[in-house]
Amino acid sequence: MINTKRQLAAIDLGSNSFHMVVARLENNQPHTIDAIKEMVRLAAGLNHRNVLSEEKIVEALECLSRFGQRIKDLPAQNVMAVGTNTLRMARNSASFLARAEQALGFPINIVAGQEEARLVYQGVAHSLAQTESNRLVIDIGGGSTEFIIGKAYNPIMMESLNMGCVNFTNRWFETGEISAARIQRAIIHARRKLEWISDEYRQMGWQECIGSSGTIKTISSILSENYHTDGTIDYAGLKQLSELFITAGNINHIILPGLSETRAPVIVGGLCVLMGAFEELQIDRMQASDGALREGLLNDMIESSQGRDIRMDTVSSFQLRYRVDTAQSARTCNTALHMYDQLNLGEENDLRLILQWASKLHEIGLSISHSNYPEHSGYLVEQSDMPGFSRELQNTLGLLLRLQRGKMKMNLIEESPRLHKDIVPIIIMLRLAISLERSRDWDASRQVRIKLKKNTFKLKFPPGYLENHPLTQADLTSEKNEVSKAGYKLKFK
């Protein structure tokens, strides 16, 4: 019998295709045992208002249901599913995700562009022999293209630009007609998008260029089968390919060895993106890689199982960047987690981690201004690139930081439909921990005990403690009113 606990699944809800890789973990290395790809073309379902069509949603749900059947016996911690550019853009992504998670049977997170770039780089880097030279990795998806310069397993520069094989094909070849003028206009548009990063990238430099995902692998295959290359992509080969497409005259007439029927409808848009990148970044040649975002997801899961969580590294980096008083954040964190653990809320989800991260980052807004710093803290977390964090996690963390003190603005919670159902007690514990550590000096005599029963928080202090700490008592008295707004009661003695 297969030990399903040793299997991992990574799912990429891309703008062009949905991918799922199932791997068996052997000696902490993933060995692929199943790979499924379906051309959903989610980006084609976005209208001019960035709303996904119901027809495309149904198609996506049917695909995810098939994926879910394959992995239904895997533990939740062994599955990671992410959405990318189209779901970042879609105004109805929250309602789609609710239905998508039901179809798949597992949570789905939307990743920001920089996080997508990091995952792509990790997937590529772990599929290649390691060198100490710089690599440029380019990943052309359906709705975005990621550009990363890195060394070994470490990305140095990362960008995600809103151009991909689906949206470029839809914009520049909407009628299906292919001409030299249309291809040139699309290439120029790609170069204009790249213009603001090209100088910095060329200055950093690279010794090898690697391409990943379907468009680049397909172009490599076409060049190999039609021009007998070794799979290397250069500009001369891209130019020859564009001339073949121009000769075909229409997307529906493109039939070439190495080009699948499912890839043909969007290959011309992807080619223009790649030609624009070659021209603007002055790339000599490129090799195609089998590694991509889903392999990056597998690597993250393996590292997490070994005790390394990149999100902790990100939090530490933020503390350093925003000059956080780490002694105070540690005191607040210890107090918050001490309360959480007393309530036996479990560790089967990220709630304890979210409380830990929020405790460590609650004062980053002080780097902007002491006035209204909770709002600044929330803004910094929500708007920054945070490696390892999904957009949903960043928004949840930002919400906690905005609500760490002052008015309990319940409208912020009500306007966030994908929050965990138990997030309010986490917010309350963060507020209590911040109040208890207001003196900014560790107080070993406090030894507060906490219970939560029927929506009532009960705090118990050592005899005489509150009488000797009137400021703490005043803070808790004020907090009673704010906690009540969230449907809870606060009692202390």
What are the Cα distances from residue 227, in Å, to 85, 236, 239, 277, 380? 33, 11, 12, 22, 51
Q: Which domain holds residue 371?
A: 309-443
Residues 152, 277, single domain; the answer is yes
167 and 214 housed in the same domain = yes
pLDDT in tens, 154-212: 999 999 999 999 999 999 999 999 999 999 999 999 999 999 999 999 999 999 999 99
pLDDT band of residue 421 (cuts 50, 70, 90) is confident
Please report the DSSP string for 80-91 in residue order.
EEEE-HHHHH-T
Asked whether residue 168 falls in the same domain as residue 271, the answer is yes
Given pLDDT bands bounded at 50, 70 and 90, which one contains residue 2? very low
Tokens of 26: 């052997």
Return the structure tokens found at 136: 């440029």
What is the distance of C-alpha 258 from the center of its chain?
A: 32
Q: How many helices (H) and strands (E) does the chain have?
A: 19, 14
CATH code, domain with 199: 3.30.420.150
Average pLDDT score over residue span 302-309: 83
Note the pLDDT of residue 445. Answer: 65
pLDDT tens by residue, 264-273: 999 999 999 9
367 in a domain, yes or no?
A: yes
Q: Phi and psi (nearest 5°) for 84?
A: -120, -135
Among 280, 302, 324, where does a domain finish?
A: 302
Per-residue model confidence (pLDDT) at position 459: 94
* Residue 347 confidence (pLDDT): 64
Q: Six-digit token pair at 291?
A: 């590694």
Regarding whether 366 and 274 lie in a shared domain, the answer is no
Instruction: Determine the Cα–Cα distance for residues 206 and 198; give it in Å rounded to an integer.
Output: 13
Residues 199 and 165 in one domain: yes
Q: What are the two backbone dihedrals, phi and then psi, of residue 287, each rounded to the nearest 5 degrees?
A: -110, 145
Residue closest to 67 by CA, chosen among 20, 99, 15: 20
pLDDT more than 90, % of the chain: 82
55-110: pLDDT as tens digits? 999 999 999 999 999 999 999 989 999 999 999 999 999 999 999 999 999 999 99
**In this structure, are 170 and 274 located in the same domain?**
yes
SS (H, E, C) 180-233: HHHHHHHHHHHHHHHHHHHHHHHHHCCCEEEEECHHHHHHHHHHHHHHCCCCCE
Question: For 317-344, what is each residue's pLDDT tens digit?
Answer: 999 999 999 999 999 999 999 999 999 8
In a domain, 467, yes or no: no
The predicted pLDDT at position 131 comes to: 83
List, in sequence order, every residue forming a beta bridge with 30; answer none if it has no partner.
Answer: 25
pLDDT-derived band at 485, boundaries 50, 70, 90: very high
Does residue 380 lie within any of the structural domains?
yes
Which pLDDT score is estimated for 309?
Answer: 86
Mean pLDDT of the 340-350 span: 80
The CA-CA-CA angle for residues 211, 20, 103, to 5°, reads: 140
Can you point out the beta strands (E) in 412-469?
A: 449-453, 456-460
Flag whether pLDDT at 36 surpasses 70: yes
Among 232, 254, 289, the domain boundary falls at 289
Question: Is residue 320 domain-shared with residue 425, that is, in the same domain?
Answer: yes
**Residues 179, 441: Cα–Cα separation, whole Å:** 71
Residue 281 and residue 316 in one domain? no
In a domain, 413, yes or no: yes
Residue type at 343 in one-letter notation? L
The pLDDT of residue 1 is: 39
Q: What is the pLDDT of residue 365?
A: 95
CATH number of the domain encompassing residue 52: 3.30.420.40
Structural domain total, the chain: 3
> What is residue 8's three-state secondary structure?
strand
Domain end residue (candidates: 443, 463, 478): 443
Q: Does residue 477 belong to any structural domain of this protein?
A: no
Q: What is the CATH number of the domain that holds 431?
A: 1.10.3210.10
Q: Are residues 233 and 85 in the same domain?
A: no
Query: What is the model's pLDDT at position 419?
Result: 83
pLDDT range class, residue 416, cuts 50, 70, 90 = confident
In 3D space, the residue among 452, 418, 413, 453 whose CA is nearest the CA of residue 432 turns out to be 452
- Listed ranges 129-138, 266-275, 298-307; the one with the highest mean pLDDT: 266-275
